[in-house]
């Protein structure tokens, strides 16, 4: 007597095990079963008895269920081929590991994993205007005068308007400001995210816009860092500033999101003024060489610039981003926190 065990997962995923006596009776039963199956399905089945996945005895079914419950899955084939696990003819999604770097010796270039963000047309790049949204309510005035006070103090501390504004001065200023500018979006997104989790309520579509803004500011920083590496003293100042700003902005966002978005709106107004000044220095000042200096690769990739793009094109793109943050934050500041974000991802 030969015992045959065959395990299969039928169309409905039921596991069956066969244990049968291979004798004349079984052969007759099997050939009847095969011809019946061929008639019903139109499929040609191999008459080789050992390849037929058939009916199981109750003992074997019980045994297999017991093994299954004990975690012995080795007899169970990969279920992804089953019809009810997959609704499409496309290959099942599997983890893509072949193109990913195995070690940090071969990292992908900076800007490879960025969120969607606007890509500006030539017209949009050159039509950015310096604008001002007059403060109306008390909270708006607080935001406006806070930004003005910060700007004035920073300009005096860094002697920005004294002497020549050379490349070193510009790059360090951009680096420092962008390390600060990347904070509000992330803090606001995190606060709204935690709020949604804690209260078990939906967000109103704001989080993605805030995260995009935070990343966009970080990409401004990554681009500026291609031109100059800051000293340890600069890095220490950034650490201190981040500690203070993250704490203050987080507390402020819990108290008044309107104040915070208005504050960022005014901060972005100042950023547009700063980058417009930078463009003036490129056209007719100490940064004339940025008219021809090639844009860093990260900038070409992130803003999808032409291969021959220059640093001037990069500053134009950054200024357009800042103008976008300006309008987004003034809009969010004027909205109720439970109104839907009008900005789609990447828009």
Of all helices (H) and strands (E), which one includes residue 16? Answer: strand 15-17
Q: What residue has token string 């050159």? A: 126
Number of residues that bind Fe ion (CB under 5 A): 8
Member of 266, 322, 328, 330 binding Fe ion (CB under 5 A): 322
Which positions from 9 through 48 interact with Fe ion, judged by CB under 5 A?
A: none
Segment near Fe ion (CB under 5 A); pick from 62-70, 153-161, 223-231, 324-332: 324-332
Which positions from 214 through 243 interact with Fe ion, judged by CB under 5 A?
A: 217, 220
Smallest separation (angstroms) from Fe ion to the CB of 224: 9
Smallest separation (angstroms) from Fe ion to the CB of 220: 4
Nearer to Fe ion, 104 or 129 (CB): 129
Smallest separation (angstroms) from Fe ion to the CB of 183: 11
- Cα gap 247→271, rounded to integer Å: 22
Q: Which pair of tokens denotes residue 39?
A: 């008639």
Residue 315 three-state SS: helix
- The 247-276 contact track toward Fe ion, x by CB under 5 A, reads ---------------------x--x-----
- Cα gap 129→301, rounded to integer Å: 26
- Count, residues in the chain: 347
- The 146-185 contact track toward Fe ion, x by CB under 5 A, reads --------------------------------x--x----
Residue-by-residue DSSP string for 85-150: G--SSSPPP----TTS-SSTTSPPPTTTTPPP-----HHHHHT---------SHHHHHHHHHHHHH
Biggest alpha carbon distance in the chain? 105
Nearer to Fe ion, 60 or 269 (CB): 269
Member of 151, 165, 325, 330 binding Fe ion (CB under 5 A): 325
Residues lying near Fe ion in the complex (CB under 5 A):
178, 181, 217, 220, 268, 271, 322, 325
């Amino acid at each position: 007597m030969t015992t045959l065990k065959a395990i299969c997962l039928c169309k409905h995923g039921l596991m069956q095990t066969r244990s049968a006596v291979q004798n004349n009776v079984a052969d007759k039963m099997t050939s009847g079963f095969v011809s019946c199956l061929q008639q019903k399905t139109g499929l040609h089945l191999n008459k080789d008895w050992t390849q037929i996945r058939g009916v199981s005895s109750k003992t074997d079914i019980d045994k297999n269920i017991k093994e299954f419950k004990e975690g012995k899955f080795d007899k169970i084939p990969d279920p992804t081929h089953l019809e009810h696990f997959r609704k499409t003819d496309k290959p099942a999604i599997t983890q893509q590991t072949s193109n990913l770097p195995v070690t940090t010796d071969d990292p992908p270039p900076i800007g490879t994993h960025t969120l969607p963000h606007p890509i500006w047309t030539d017209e949009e790049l050159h039509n950015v205007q310096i604008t001002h949204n007059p403060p109306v309510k008390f909270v708006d005035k607080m935001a406006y005068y806070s930004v003005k006070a910060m700007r004035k103090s920073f300009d005096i501390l860094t002697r920005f308007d004294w002497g020549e504004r050379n490349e070193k001065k510009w790059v360090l200023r951009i680096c420092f400001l962008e390390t600060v500018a990347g904070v509000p979006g992330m803090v606001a997104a995190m606060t709204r995210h935690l709020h949604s989790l804690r209260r078990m309520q939906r967000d109103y579509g704001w989080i993605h816009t805030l995260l995009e803004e935070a990343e966009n500011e970080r990409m401004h920083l990554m681009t500026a860092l291609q031109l100059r590496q800051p000293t340890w003293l600069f890095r220490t100042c950034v650490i201190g500033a981040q500690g203070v700003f993250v704490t203050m902005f987080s507390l402020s966002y819990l108290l008044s999101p309107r104040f915070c978005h208005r504050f960022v709106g005014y901060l972005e107004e100042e950023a547009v003024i700063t980058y417009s000044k930078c463009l003036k220095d490129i056209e007719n000042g100490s940064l004339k060489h940025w008219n021809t200096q090639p844009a860093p690769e990260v900038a070409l990739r992130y803003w999808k610039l032409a291969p021959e793009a220059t640093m001037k094109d990069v500053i134009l793109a950054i200024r357009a981003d800042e103008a976008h943050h300006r309008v987004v934050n003034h809009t969010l500041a004027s909205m109720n926190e439970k109104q839907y974000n009008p900005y789609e991802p990447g828009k």
